[in-house]
Structure 1
Amino acid sequence: MRHITKTFDSNMATTSMKSVLFVCLGNICRSPIAEAVFRKMATDAGVVDKWRIDSAATSTYEIGNPPDDRGQACMKKHGVSMRHIARQVTKDDFVNFEYILCMDESNLSDLKRKANSVKNCKAKIELLGSYDPEKQLIIRDPYYGSDEDFEKVYQQCVRCCKAFLEANS
């Protein structure tokens, strides 16, 4: 007698889920801040279980590293927990995420170039800043800046993530 093993199709489980991947250059400053802010908003709204939320880098510079200490301090100040290890965007991300939201034009062009080499790319690739009600399209990299620059990134992410969540609820 042969046993038939039924395999679990992970795509079936995620079809009703929404998904967003936040992307910046190194995945240690802007994108993990956006990921943590969005996760907290989705949690507070009671919809976090309906979302797959992650962040990644366009570069390989920081793979395996935790978020920048200044970003972690900023998030702690605002009561937002942040647990992430930097990773690079993969070809699968373009198929498995509904939205890929990035921080600046350089990220956008890198992502669009990578998306062109992916069959069945379904991700909508946009600037996170396109959701900013204050119309600040670019979220500048605070890496070489000060604590105030991280605070500005946090505030921009709060505005953009709030608008993005409202648009997708």
Structure 2
Amino acid sequence: MGEFLVPPSKTLTHFAGTLVTIRSEKSFFDVTKAIESRLQRLSVPRLIEYVTSADREGLEIYVDQVSKPSKFAIFWEFEQGSTMRLAGIPIESKFYLVGNAVIARGLFQYTGAAGLGAPVRICVSQRDGEDTRIDMDLPSAFFGKFPEMSESDVPRLLDDEMVKVFEDAAA
């Protein structure tokens, strides 16, 4: 008659990370300008074209081109400050998703849950009268919470190279 469905299982895992905060005396606008001059914007529709046509080589070439010279590109950005100012909060804020679709294979090959942290979330903000700050999860601490990713060298690469991109932008 009817099918018997097994209820889904749920696991709760304690998940703590390490927040990287880079402070800069440069203005919010100068820091975001520096970031955006170092990181090109990746075209998600163009990525979809490569995937739809199963053009792995074309995808890899495109990602390599867009990710130069830093190895990383901006997948998505969202300006949050204007909404916060409208709400009466004196802050400039911009959120970015930054990564490299080819490098990310070294995360996703271990678990699809890599999508929780890849691309990496970056928030640049400045409250009126304060320094600008760049905040991000330390990739090795974030991905280190996934036991299945223990063999991946990508989190350390992100720590070493991605954090440097943002330190340089803040300098």
Q: Calculate the TM-score normalised by the size of structure 1.
A: 0.27
| Larger strand percent | 2
Q: Calculate the TM-score normalised by the size of structure 2.
A: 0.27
Q: Which has the higher contact order (CA 8 A, sep 6+)?
A: 2
Indicate the structure (1 or 2) with the bigger Cα radius of gyration.
2
